Amino acid sequence: MVKRHALRKVTLFTTGVALCIAFVVFQMKYRVSDTVKQLGVVNKEILNMQETVQVLKAEWHYLNKPERLSQLNQKFLKLAPAKVTQVASLASFNKQSSAKVTMYASLN
């Protein structure tokens, strides 16, 4: 009788543990399926963003074509290449700025 009673306790305990494990596995299964769904959504967003980046890169390359920029320059800005006489060295800027500072100081 005592062995039966002990066996019944062990059986109930084992059944309880098995039910707890089944519940946890059931919960994990649904969490994993939700995570897989979220992963699918994120992957679709990544693909959409990659397509958008490709479109923007194509637009950027088109907008920065030298021929196109030259046409726009001629139409709106009429800029010309810099002449050699327009180029200055850094030393000449230092001389000019120090001369202006001494002139300004002498005026005050």
Q: What is the 3-state secondary structure (H, E, C) of 41-94?
A: HHHHHHHHHHHHHHHHHHHHHHHCCHHHHHHHHHHHHCCCCCCHHHCCCHHHHH
In angstroms, the CA 32 to CA 24 distance is 12
Domain positions in the chain are 2-77
What average pLDDT does the structure give for the chain?
87
Residue carrying the six token digits 């967003």: 45
pLDDT band at 85 (very low <50, low <70, confident <90, very high): confident
Check pLDDT > 60 for residue 103: no
Check pLDDT > 80 for residue 32: yes
Q: Evaluate if pTM is beyond 0.75.
A: no
How much is the average pLDDT of 49-59? 98
Our CA dihedral for 52, 53, 58, 63, rounded to 10 degrees, sits at 100
How much is the average pLDDT of 73-101? 78
